[in-house]
Chains A and B, each alone.
Chain A
Amino acid sequence: MSILDNVAGNLAASTPGSSTELRRATWRGRLQMAVLIVVYVVMFLAFTIPFFWMFFGSIREEAEIFANLYPFTWKTILPIKWSLKNYLDIFGISDDGQKFGLQFQRFLGNSFLVSAGVVLSSLFFNTLAAYFFARLRFPLKNVLLVFVIATMLVPFQATIVPLYIVVDALGMANSYNGLIFPWYASPFVIFALMQFMRDIPTDLDEAAVMDGANLFHILWRVIVPLSIPGIITMALLEFQFIWNLFYWPLILISSPQLQMIQVAIATQTTQTQTFWGRTFAGSVTASLPVIVLFLFLQRYYVQGIALTGLKG
């Protein structure tokens, strides 16, 4: 009850210098504060312990992961003997890694290549389309917009078999092209950037027209510089979407040389038996780029999700 009061109080009066500030001075307020801190710590641990287990599990000897499970102590999570062997294994540097033919640098490279291809091409084409819908005159433009928005209703995972049939018919199965082409335009990105560009005052591009600048110049010189925050946000969401893609590369790619890293961690470390240390190391490698990007550019992420409310 007191916690609920406190939380509701936080929301009821979130302006500084209000009743919560006063209440904090009393012993009852201090007790509530202590309870709140405990709640925060529990929430923090509930979401981070699996990641700590994974990360520290990747830099300790595999036998250690199992040896210290019972009873639960700090040794269950934190390494006693540190070791980089798991990473040497998955990158094929150690003898064990070579014996298994592991080469995560290859999968990592594929993922970076495909992600760069998708992010760059989709930024270019989605910006063009968003500019069209936000600023240009065209007969029946609204019909075209409905055509674009309606694709949001096509459920992605449920229609992946049909997508495969088309991509296969285009001769793009088992190729980088097949991984990149379907994603060079996105209705969500077009919609979000369109909202963003609509808020830019029109007199700016009208001034540019009087200068005799053509449409592409206006977009490049006036609209794009003013849309940079929106474009960064969309680039982040696109990167996360394509980097984390699993189902599509799983079915599209049949030769291991072309495979992306998310599929590799599911298939390469668990073929005959599961190597926990290697799986942890592979998972850390596959997650690090997105988690680091997120921690540095968190503000854009949160804005982007609040803006579109949707994935990808």
Chain B
Amino acid sequence: MLATPISTPAKGWGRIWSRRNRYYLIAFLFVLPALINFTVFRYLPILAALRASMYQYSLLGGFGDFVGLDQYHAILSDSFFRNSLWVTLKFTIYKVPLQVLFSLILALFLARENLGTAFVRSAVFTPVVTSVIVVSVLWSMMYHSQLGLINSLLSIVGVPPQAFLSNPDRALPALTAMMIWKDVGFSMIILMAGLKGIPVVYREAAVVDGAKPWEVLWHITLPLLRRVMMFVMVTQTIFSFQVFVPVYAMTRGGPLERTKAVVYYIYQYGFLFQDMGTASAMSIVTLIILLVVSVGQMRLFRSDVSY
């Protein structure tokens, strides 16, 4: 209809609106909303936290004096902050290996397809789809020292009522046990997918060669599952290190600070003590720790054998 700019030889708008550039522009519009989201809600917060960590900053009072690295200095010598890192580390060390072990056992028992295993699989997976807060509220009632279901169950075997969450030595193991119960189905599914991915011929060949079933398990199945198990370990370590909801709902960090995980401590500083500057500095330190852990674990991951 009209003389299109394309026909005029490379000049001004004509050059920019070439067919190829127009294609690129339209293509870019497809990804632009996602890029904006990640810039604003994933990367910008880190920069904002870096800035906030160098100022006195509260939600009500806004930005105060520039303090440089003072707040980093303060938290690194804060024994409560170090305690919270220690609590978080203990939680992770208790939880991850046991969870991988239990999920492996469950996956081996439930990999076979029949009606019975389908029922049990659904049961194991129900806590995974339930929210952490429902599970935490439910278990804090189950752990109740007089009115809890667990003490009722223990009474069957003659054990007198126990305190769980108010006992400084038992609170963290009690939280860990609950979170293993909640998350074990999640890693079970991944391990089962891994089991199904192992070519049947390997196991059959071993059986033909006269290997006993447990030898097949130990020498063939488990070594071939190593990559998947590593993957579960890496992701669960990152998740576990950020435990918050059970601490908030069940113990509020007590008794005697024994369950005060680092994310809960950050929450306390930022929202209860209204000190966003210090909370930001703690977030940055935790972020760095987690980045180092994930990069380190991924290195380990990559050097692994594949089949």
Contact = CB atoms under 8 A, between A and B. Distances in A.
Interface stretch (A91-99, A127-135, A198-206, A224-232): A127-135
Contact of A246 (B125, B133, B207, B212): B133
Contacts, number: 292
Q: Which of B48, B142, B271 has the most CB of A within 10 A?
A: B48
B239 interface: yes
Contacts of A8: 108, 212-214, 216-217, 221
B203 A12 contact: yes
Contact of B35 (A144, A286, A309): A144
Interface residues of A, number: 107
Q: Which of A8, A15, A151 has the most CB of B within 10 A?
A: A8
B89 interface: no
Contacts of B206: 12
A70 interface: yes
A159 B239 CA distance: 13
A311 B138 CA distance: 22
B181 A66 contact: no
A31 interface: no
Contacts of B139: 50
Contact of A128 (B31, B267, B271): B31
Contacts of B131: 243-244, 246, 262, 286-287, 290
A168 B122 CA distance: 40
A215 B249 CA distance: 49
A166 B48 contact: yes
A147 B38 contact: yes
A300 B132 CA distance: 21
Q: Which of B129, B190, B203 has the most CB of A within 10 A?
A: B129
Interface in A1-30: 4-15, 19
A188 to B, nearest CB: 11
A185 B34 contact: yes
Nearest to A289: B129
Given A76-B149, A246-B131, A276-B141, A215 B27 contact: yes
Contact of B290 (A138, A148, A155): A155
Interface in A159-200: 159-170, 181-182, 184-185, 187, 190
Given A37-B116, A136-B30, A163-B41, A283 B137 contact: yes
Interface in A221-267: 240, 243-244, 246-247, 250-251, 262-263, 265-266
Interface stretch (A41-49, A78-86, A101-109): A41-49
A276 B290 CA distance: 38
Interface string B132-152: 111001110110000101011
A211 B295 CA distance: 47
A287 B134 contact: yes
Contacts of A129: 30-31, 33-34
Contacts of A295: 122
A157 interface: yes
B19 interface: no
B168 to A, nearest CB: 22
B37 A305 contact: no
A44 B203 contact: no
12 contacts: A7-B109, A10-B108, A39-B109, A43-B123, A147-B38, A148-B35, A153-B291, A158-B263, A161-B49, A185-B38, A293-B129, A305-B189
